[in-house]
Amino acid sequence: MKPNVLHRVSVLGVCAWLAAWALPVWMTLFGAGFALVSVASGSVQGRLLAVLAAAQLMAMTVLIAGIEAEVGRRDEWGDYPAAGGIALAVVASITVAAIVTLTRHPDRLGNLGPRSHAPA
């Protein structure tokens, strides 16, 4: 392999490792961010964003409970990967449900696209 390609693959691997290692941090940040945006949004948009916030925070709870309950097989580093997998399944399923709701009922959400700047 060329050194340039090897460098890019290495950088991608390190970024993926950091993102996976910091999963609880990302879930907490996304949950708090979605909660803040849901407070500032309209009624229907706010409810959907609140569902997304709840998904992140519920997955964090599932992750911590799974680790404490020692769910699944313990790996060579002393972690319980099944707990992380279950947490990701929880957040993915709730997020998919919210996105499906968003796409099936766009008429109730109002105009989420760019605003037209027509002269008055």
pLDDT in tens, 83-120: 888 888 888 888 888 778 777 766 655 555 455 555 55
Cβ neighbours around 62 below 10 Å, total: 19
- SS3 state of residue 54: helix
* 103 within domain boundaries: yes
CA distance 85 to 73: 12
User: Based on the structure, what is the number of domains in the chain?
Assistant: 1
* 2 within domain boundaries: no
At residue 14, the pLDDT reads: 80
At residue 107, the pLDDT reads: 61
User: 29: domain range?
Assistant: 22-107
CA distance 67 to 85: 11
* 112 within domain boundaries: no
Q: Which pLDDT tens digit goes with each residue over 31-80?
A: 888 888 878 777 777 777 788 888 888 888 888 898 888 888 888 887 78
pTM: 0.60
88 closest CA partner among 24, 16, 34, 38: 24
Q: What are phi and psi for residue 41, nearest 5 degrees?
A: -90, 175
The residue type of 43 is S
Q: Which are the contacts of 102, defined by CB distance < 8 A and separation ≥ 6?
A: 48, 109
* 66 within domain boundaries: yes
* 71 within domain boundaries: yes
